[in-house]
Structure 1
Amino acid sequence: MTDSHSINVESSPKLELYAKQTKNITYEAEHSPSSIQKAIAELVGTYILIFAGCGAALVNERLQISVVGIAIVSGLALTVAIYSVGHISGGHFNPAVTIALAVVRKIQLKLVPVYLVCQLMGATMATLTLKVLYHEKVSIVVTLTQYSNSTSDLEALVWESIITFILMLTISGVATDHRGSKELAGVAIGLSVLINIIIAGPITGASMNPGRSLGPAIVSGNYKNIWVYIIGPIVGAVFASVLYTFLRVTKQAQPEQSHV
């Protein structure tokens, strides 16, 4: 009788924890954002990111904030967007990220075309807003991501693939893995963008985001080398997400057996 009573007392906290977890899962399922809410969040988040990033490029034409200033603004803008609406849609704000997560089945396939359209709309609207606000003060052409004639197509493609790989690996580690620090995810991802722009910005413009390049291209009508800024980031992001899927621990660790 005593043993039975002690078992019941010990198992009670476990039952309470299980009940609490089940309740939380049920609540999240019933109150999860709708597809429309996620789509709007992606549009708004992408708008914030491109408005700030391209805006910094325009400011640089007048105040010379340098590539470091542009990198800081872009990294902080992504951090702000992630903490603002990232919890609603997942905080992609980048077609390459959405495609990469779809490849490893971290997003519902039905949401992929919706996200891609909204991201492109957000990027285009942000660039168009800057064009209207700046009027003739600074040409919107400076927001285009281009590389010099001394840089070959292959070199630019490799640059964009590598820096997007770094960005996507960071996203996979801090945002898609349950062991990652979700509270600091926005900071880590923003810092990866900042670092990448400082390193690759002077060479390719450090797009890392097909939307970042397509938005200004659509508004300006200049599509020179646009394929590099579409294929490069997608290849880098997909490779990073597949690699992290391989690195991710999926089996429960077995306790070491005592030989004492």
Structure 2
Amino acid sequence: MQLSLRQCLLAEVLGTAILLIFGTGAAVVNEQTHALGHGGVATAFGLVVFLLIQSLGDTSGAHINPAVTVGFWAAGRFPARRVLPYVAAQLLGAVLGSASVKLIATPGSSLGATLPAHGIGQALGIETFLSFGLMLVILRVTSGSKEAGMLAGLAISATVALEALVGGPLSGASMNPARSLAPALLSGVWTGWWLYIVGPVAGALLAVAVNKLLQLKAPAA
């Protein structure tokens, strides 16, 4: 039985809120206590993504990311009529999650905002590359015999953790417009905000194109 759009949107709101609560929440906790370290924050993002995929994947697909929704649409795996409702649900969930994090943050906190470390151009390139890698993994492990199961969720969440671990110090390793826009909105820290939309969406679309090339059948000998 196909779930209603309302159920899917509720899952996306809830999932994206939880992503922000535990992901950016970990960044805020580390900002205050230094107990987690950068590796701990990256791990928190990977773990929450894994849990969300396993718990909400059967309901909405657990996109929890506008760039992923756009990527699935571009790949022909998601109906166009649901793209805008999904993106709106993800943005709403992200704002709710970031508002929850603000309750424990100290005054002046950026709420886990993603910021360029060495210039806009470098951060844009990094976000595009990281989002390309994430979307390509998602497309490759959610097709055919690998479409369902714990290993697909593990591969995706491990990619998030790995890319956050390596790219986080340089660009924040957002890979997700909702994840970046919500902290920016609630903290007022808007530095380079647009690149966290352009980079993830461009990376996701590039991954769709590369995935199609990888699926091309070799000509018969």
TM interval, short-chain normalised: over 0.9
Conserved in 2, the CA contact under 8 Å of 1:94 and 1:211? yes
2:193 paired residue number: 226
Q: TM-score, normalised by structure 1?
A: 0.80
Conserved in 2, the CA contact under 8 Å of 1:61 and 1:138? no
Name the SS of the counterpart of 2:144 in structure 1: coil
Tell me which structure has the larger Cα radius of gyration: 1
Q: 2:100 aligns with which of 116, 129, 148?
A: 129
Equivalent positions of 1:169-208 (< 5 A) are 169-175=136-142, 177-180=143-146, 182-183=148-149, 184-208=151-175
**Cα distance, 1:182 vs structure 2:** 2.3
Conserved in 2, the CA contact under 8 Å of 1:100 and 1:238? yes
C-alpha offsets along residues 14-46 of structure 1, whole Å, 9 cap, x if unaligned? xxxxxxxxxxxxxxxxx1111111111111111
2:113 paired residue number: 144
1:10 paired residue number: none
Name the SS of the counterpart of 2:17 in structure 1: helix
Conserved in 1, the CA contact under 8 Å of 2:108 and 2:187? no
Name the SS of the counterpart of 2:175 in structure 1: coil
C-alpha offsets along residues 110-153 of structure 1, whole Å, 9 cap, x if unaligned? 10000000000011100001112x15x364414110023xx121
2:66 paired residue number: 95
**Cα distance, 1:63 vs structure 2:** 2.6
CA distance in 1, matches of 2:67, 2:147: 23
**Cα distance, 1:66 vs structure 2:** 1.3
Question: Cα 1:138–1:69, aligned 2, differ >3 Å: closer, same or farther?
Answer: farther
1:243 paired residue number: 210
CA distance in 1, matches of 2:31, 2:122: 26
RMSD in angstroms over aligned alpha carbons?
1.9
Name the SS of the counterpart of 1:32 in structure 2: coil
2:19 paired residue number: 49
Q: 2:45 aligns with which of 45, 58, 74?
A: 74
